[in-house]
Each structure stands twice: as C-alpha cells, then as structure tokens.
C-alpha cells in the first residue's frame, strides 16, 4: 500500500514553478525566466520523444483535434506570432509553419468531424524550427530590459504567455497521446524517464460527504495585485455568498464509478441530460474512455501503457458522464447530489493550511500536480488537503463543475491573445478546477486559474460531488462586452437604415458594390473571399449572389460573432448613450432578409491576411479587401501575394480610406501617402497599389466608387470616412 509520505521522496519531473511577476533583483529574475522557458520547451520535446514512429505525428488520434505534428509546431509558432503582434520582433522565422500551426481546433463540437486537408510539415523541419524559436526567445531573454514588475503592458508578458501556453499544450497533448496506438508510443526510452507512472493501487476507500460551512468567496485579481501570470478570464472582481453544503471526501474512484457502469448507467437515458444522451448515442460509450476490457479483465490506458485498472485511482470522465453519475448517485442515496459550482470549489481551495498558499510559495506541491510526483493519476487517498479531511482538492485530476465559464465583472481582453477566453463564453463550455498531475506552471495550479472545455471533451478530469439543495446559477451574460466588438457590431448591424440618416452600413454598401461590379462585368459568382470580414455582415450579404463565401479576419472575437449569427444565434450588444448609460440592442440574420440558404454558403476563419496559404483556401472568382491595407503592418507583402488567390480573369476589389497610422503600419512600410525621398513628388496610396499590382492585375477604371463608412463613438458622435473602391482584373 502506498504510504502517504512516499511521494515526497521522488524526484520532481516538473518544469519548475511559475515565476513571481515582482522582482527585487532584475538579473536573477531574468535567469529564473530563462530556466523556466528552457525547462518548459524541453518538456514538450520529452513528450514528443515518446512517439516511436513519424507516422504517429500525422494521425488524428483524437478525431476532434489536429494530429500531433500540429501541436509540436504550434507552441513554438505561438511565441513568434505573439512577439510579432507585440512588435518585439518584426520578422517571421518560417511563414509556412507559422500559418499551418497557428490556430488550434480544441473547441470543435463532438459531431464535427473535420476532414480538412492540411499540408503538414516534416517532423525534421518542425524540430529545426523549434530550435530556431528557442534560440530567438533565449536571445530576447538576454537582451530585453527587465521590468521590476512584469504586467500586461510589459515586453516580457508575451514571453511568459508563451511559456504558460506551452504548459497548457503539454497537458492537452498528453491527453491525445493517451490514445496513440501502443506500437507507436513507449516509455522504454530515455524520454520515458521523464514520465514516471504511479505503480501503486490502494484498497479503494469508502467515499463520504463532509460538511462545509457557509462562506463568502472573493475573486479579486487585477493588474496591480496579480502575483503570477494569469489569463484574461482570471482578472476581475466578484464576491459571492456560498451557502453551507457537503462535499465528497475523495474524488470519485474507478471503483466507485464502476457501480454506475454496472448498474447500466450508460444504457439508461434517465440519468443523462439531453446533450449527454445524444453524445452517448453518437459515441457508443459504455464506460469511461480509458477503460479497456482484455481477456475478461478490466484494464486502463495510461499515457503510454496499458495496466490493470487501478480501482483506487480517480475515474477519468468528461462532464456529461460526471453529471450523469451525480444524477444516478442522487437516486441511489435519496440526496440532492450534483457537481460543485466554481464558488463551492473555491471554498474548498481556501480551507486548511494550504488555503492561502499559491504555487510559487510551495516548498513541495500539496497534491499530485505540476509533475512533481507522477506522470499519471494515483490513489485518491494519498494527498490530504491541509488538515481539512478532504483529499485532492488540487491535482490528480481536474474536477468538473456545473458552472459555465464567463468573464468576471471587470473582464478585459488582452490584446495579444483576444481569442483565449471570449470564444468560450457561450454556455457550451464548463469550468473544471484544481488541475491534474500534468498541470504545470500557472496551468491549473494557481488559486485564480479558470479553465474550461466543452462538456464532451476528455482531459485528465474527474468528479468531486456535493450535496446541496441550492441549484448552481448557470445564467450567462450574453451581452457582448468587448468595446471593439461592440463598435463593429454597431457599425455592421444598425437597427435602422444606418447610423446617420439615409446612409446604410459600409459592410452592406461594399457588398452591394461587389455584386454590381460582378454583374456589370459578367463575371462568375462561384467563390468569393472577404478579407477583413470583421463580424460578417458583408460576407453574409455576398452570399445572396455567390455560391461559396469565405470570410477571414485576424481577430477571433469578430469571427466568433459571425459564427454565432450563422448558427441562428441572437447577438446582444449595447450602445453608449450618455456617460455610463447604455442602450441595449440585439441582431440576428433574420433582420437582413437574406435568401434561403445564404448563411449556409458562408464559412469563417481566423487568419492573418498577410500570411494566408493558397493551398488551403484555394482560388476565388472575387477577392474583397475592404479597408484592409491600412490595417496591415506590411501591406506591400499582401498586395504582392494576393494574385495567388484570384483566378485568371477574376477580380480583386479594394477599398481604402487612406488613413495610415504609424502605430499600425511603420512609416517605411506604407505604400503611399508620403513624399518620395528622391524626387520629392507626392506618392498616393493608389499609385503605390497600382505599382505593386502591375503585371498581375489591370484596373477596371469604370468601376471606381466612393462609399461612406460610419462608426459610432457615442450615441451622437460618429466617425465619418469616405472609402474609395477600386476594381482590378487578374491578367
């Protein structure tokens, strides 16, 4: 039987502790971050070294995620993309890899089996790329001036962000690796020494409910008092009164969960939510994902091995299974059993001698977390939480809640990673708390961590249940709160004819102009590409004429709005009226009076117009770049490459207000709006565009137009621009 003191004799496999943001010794902090960066980067290498064949890199072992090759490159690409966005670096290392491995698919619906073809890079090329990124970041760590306090605006923030992002993907990749065929993955190698699995299975303890007194919890992380790195959803202020409840002493063990399996729980619809039962029918699940039956005996798939099923270890299940188990448990006990709320978990987290201790302050991890003990689950009765009588309040496996993730009051989006949280504020993503054995750094191990997944997704997550007569509040703040998104929605979808009487939205006017041009010139209406599509109005309008409409924008928050509308959703938003007083509005596609099926002809992608892959998106009859070039850091690069996306004889429709901003486009990268340094002559933007497109396009002079573009700042204050539309035919 595993002794409770035994884990403390083991050598840690972790990458170390997430750094404090405040430092009295800048050079010591610099070296701490350097060590942390390399250890984290090494951990990714150690994980992927478990794969024994290159073939394993290219198989979708989890159908709802990319193959491992994507994640091998993704974390390195993240450093480059964020550092470019922060303007800390200006040049890409490998544009192809940085495009192909830029955006993940960890948010797909369980029945969305995407078979999109990707031209994945070779393993050796990604390995070489990772080495180049490692050298670049190490050099930045050496050269950047060190701040006494690293905060959101610091040049160091994207570096810490990249490190913690790497920690996240080490964990999510390990869940994928748990599905790799055993002949493609092994622990019998040098890499295996970095992944020590627990080898003990205790006698499963009898679970029981322990009382927890009523309490008040406070969420109060802000940019001034945040001691360690945090993602945007952790910041804000909220106070909540939590009524008394009871919570299970242990996480639900495999032994306890088997009672639900043996009772026919996976065959009985009454225990499942509608969403849960639909998933059961679709997946054919009969037991937890990692359970196996071999030769009449129960086994369990671990990271890179199959073992006898360890009955005292926590059950690893998704949220739908967790909820069904609780419903069944309620019927068995006659008590109101459910999953905890986020607030109830926080009460447990703040109890006992570890209640005020956060990750950097540990002398040793108070749970099976941060890879400080095992590269697997361990028995549920090993790590007591600071004399409270509860076990595994943090670590071992994540603990599903019934709380949907939402922004805390005061939530703000970090401009370097605008799509970390906001796409999950949809009522389809549920919080889990506490972290798992492989939750490293700020990933799940800090007091303020807030992570979520779709309810059908599998991570190393399990169940702690509570008894309470108080239901969990799952109301969502469905009003858009991001000021930039609000401005775009309001500009694209005003309730009346326009923000200014008689002037329709620019998105609608520009779509109408494109349609008129195509009809006038007798061009095909097969495929259209809308670059800088924002929240989607122009793309939807183009679908009234084109067979396939692809909208692309680099801002995920805008794309998220378009997708919500496409899914027949209602987007609610506010308009500033008088100081802090707002008016409330909503919009749906019904108001646009589009032809039947128009929305289904649209698809939306997050991507950078300066780094698109023609092999992925193909060619188009028409490419629209409306008021885009003045929003690019390198507009000349875009204009020189755009011919790859336009079919011969096809059209490029450009519009621009010619409002150049050095904060967006460095002066030396502007293509017009300046005096020539040699001749002293004025160089207009249109002249610059003409010069860059010559040889590939000819201008269709008769189709030039000026269109008004109005955006609101307050109810009675508008920004009014005129945008010149020019049309170019591909030679």
pLDDT tens column, 344-368: 999 999 999 999 989 888 888 999 9
Q: ∠ CA(94), CA(98), CA(100), 5° rounding?
A: 120
Instruction: Give residue 715's pLDDT.
Output: 66
Contact 372, 14 (CB under 8 A): yes
Count, in order, helices (H) and strands (E) of the chain.
Answer: 16, 25
Instruction: Take residue 610 and report the two structure tokens written for it.
Output: 């300066």
User: Best-predicted range by mean pLDDT among 185-189, 332-336, 489-493?
Assistant: 332-336
Condensed to tens digits (0 to 9), the pLDDT of residues 683-720 reads 899 999 999 999 999 999 999 999 999 988 766 788 89
Instruction: Give residue 117's pLDDT.
Output: 56
Is residue 8 pLDDT above 60, yes or no? no
Instruction: Give residue 1's pLDDT.
Output: 35
The better pLDDT of the pair 186, 113 is held by 186
Q: What percent of the chain has pLDDT over 90?
A: 74
Report residue 149: phi and psi, to 5°. Answer: -135, 115
Calculate mean pLDDT across residues 578-596.
80
CA atoms within 13 A on the CB side of 248: 26
Condensed to tens digits (0 to 9), the pLDDT of residues 103-151 reads 765 445 545 445 555 789 999 999 999 999 999 999 999 999 999 899 9
Is residue 3 pLDDT above 50, yes or no? no
Is residue 558 pLDDT above 50, yes or no? yes
Instruction: Give residue 107's pLDDT.
Output: 47
Is residue 678 pLDDT above 60, yes or no? yes
Is residue 197 pLDDT above 60, yes or no? yes
**pLDDT level of residue 445 (50, 70, 90 thresholds):** confident
SS3 372: coil
Q: What is the chain's alpha carbon radius of gyration, rounded to the nearest angstrom?
A: 27
**pLDDT level of residue 498 (50, 70, 90 thresholds):** low
Q: What percent of the chain has pLDDT over 70?
A: 95
Instruction: Give residue 496's pLDDT.
Output: 59
Is residue 475 pLDDT above 90, yes or no? no
The better pLDDT of the pair 2, 105 is held by 105
Burial track 488-500 (b if 16+ CB lie within 10 A, e otherwise): bbbbbbbeeebbe
Of 369, 465, 251, 368, whose CA–CA distance to 4 is shortest? 368
Q: Helical H runs in 284-378? A: 319-333, 342-349
Contact 365, 373 (CB under 8 A): yes
Domains of the chain: 6-191 (1.20.120), 209-467 (3.90.1580.10), 483-730 (3.40.50.150)
**Distance between CA atoms of residues 411 and 222, nearest Å:** 10
């Amino acid at each position: 039987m595993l002794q409770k003191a035994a884990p403390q004799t083991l050598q840690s496999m972790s990458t170390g502790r997430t750094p404090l943001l405040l430092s009295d010794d800048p050079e010591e902090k610099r070296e701490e971050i350097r060590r942390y960066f390399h250890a984290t980067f090494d951990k990714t290498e150690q994980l992927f070294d478990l794969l024994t064949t290159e073939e394993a890199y290219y198989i979708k072992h989890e159908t709802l995620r990319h193959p491992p090759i994507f994640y091998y490159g993704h974390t390195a690409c993240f450093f480059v993309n964020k550092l470019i966005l922060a303007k800390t670096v200006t040049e890409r290392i490998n544009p192809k890899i940085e495009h192909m491995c830029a955006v993940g698919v960890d948010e797909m619906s369980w029945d969305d089996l995407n078979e999109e073809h990707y031209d994945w890079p070779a393993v050796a090329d990604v390995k070489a790329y990772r080495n180049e990124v490692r050298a670049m970041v190490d050099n930045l760590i050496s050269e950047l001036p060190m701040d006494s306090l690293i905060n959101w605006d610091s040049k160091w923030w994207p570096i810490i962000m990249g490190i913690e992002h790497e920690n996240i993907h080490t964990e999510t990749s390990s869940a994928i690796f748990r599905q790799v065929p055993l002949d493609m993955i092994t622990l019998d190698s040098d890499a295996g020494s970095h992944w020590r699995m627990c080898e003990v299975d205790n006698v499963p303890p009898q679970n029981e409910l322990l009382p927890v007194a009523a309490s008040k919890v406070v969420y109060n992380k802000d940019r001034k008092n945040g001691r360690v790195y945090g993602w945007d959803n952790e910041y804000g202020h909220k106070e909540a009164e939590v009524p008394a409840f009871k919570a299970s002493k242990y996480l639900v063990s495999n032994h306890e969960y088997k009672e639900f399996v043996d009772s026919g729980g996976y065959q009985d619809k009454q225990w499942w939510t509608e969403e849960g039962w639909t998933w059961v029918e679709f997946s054919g699940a009969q037991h937890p994902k990692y359970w196996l039956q071999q030769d009449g005996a129960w086994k369990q798939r671990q990271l890179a091995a199959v073992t006898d099923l360890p009955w005292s270890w926590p059950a690893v299940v998704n949220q739908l299974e967790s909820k069904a188990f609780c419903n069944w448990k309620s019927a068995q006990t006659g008590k109101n059993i459910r999953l905890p709320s986020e607030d109830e978990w926080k009460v447990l987290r703040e109890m006992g001698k570890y209640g005020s201790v956060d990750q950097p302050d540990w002398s040793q991890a108070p749970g099976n977390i941060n890879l400080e003990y095992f590269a697997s689950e361990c028995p549920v009765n090993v790590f007591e939480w600071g004399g409270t009588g509860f076990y595994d309040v943090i670590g071992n496996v994540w603990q599903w809640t019934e709380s949907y993730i939402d922004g805390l009051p005061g939530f703000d989006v970090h401009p370097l990673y605008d799509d970390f949280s906001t796409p999950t504020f949809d009522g389809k993503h549920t919080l889990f708390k506490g972290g798992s054995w492989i939750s490293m750094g700020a990933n799940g191990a800090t007091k303020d961590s807030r992570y979520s997944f779709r309810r059908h997704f599998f991570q190393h997550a399990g169940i702690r249940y509570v008894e309470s007569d108080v239901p969990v509040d799952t109301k969502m703040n469905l009003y858009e709160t991001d000021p930039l998104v609000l401005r775009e929605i309001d500009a694209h979808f005003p309730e009346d004819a326009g923000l200014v009487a008689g002037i329709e939205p620019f998105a609608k006017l520009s779509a109408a102009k494109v349609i008129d041009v195509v009809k006038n010139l007798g061009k095909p209406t097969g495929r259209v590409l809308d670059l800088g599509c924002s929240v989607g109005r122009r793309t939807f309008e183009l679908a009234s004429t084109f067979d396939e409409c692809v909208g692309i924008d680099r801002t995920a928050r805008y794309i998220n709005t378009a997708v919500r509308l496409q899914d027949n959703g209602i987007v609610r938003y506010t308009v500033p009226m008088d100081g802090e007083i707002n008016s409330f509005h909503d919009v749906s596609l019904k108001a646009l009076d589009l032809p039947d099926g128009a929305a289904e002809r649209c698809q939306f992608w997050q991507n950078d117009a300066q780094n698109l892959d023609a092999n992925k998106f193909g060619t188009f009859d028409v490419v629209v770049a409306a008021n885009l070039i003045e929003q690019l850091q390198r507009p000349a690069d875009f204009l020189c490459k755009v011919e790859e996306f336009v079919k011969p004889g096809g059209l490029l429709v450009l519009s621009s207000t010619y409002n150049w901003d050095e904060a967006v486009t460095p002066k030396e990268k502007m293509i017009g709006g300046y005096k020539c340094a040699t001749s002293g002559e004025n160089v207009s933007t249109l002249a610059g565009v003409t010069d860059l497109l010559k040889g590939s396009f000819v201008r269709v002079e008769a189709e030039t137009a000026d269109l008004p573009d109005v955006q609101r700042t307050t109810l009675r204050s508008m920004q009014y621009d005129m945008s010149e539309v020019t049309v170019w035919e591909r030679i």
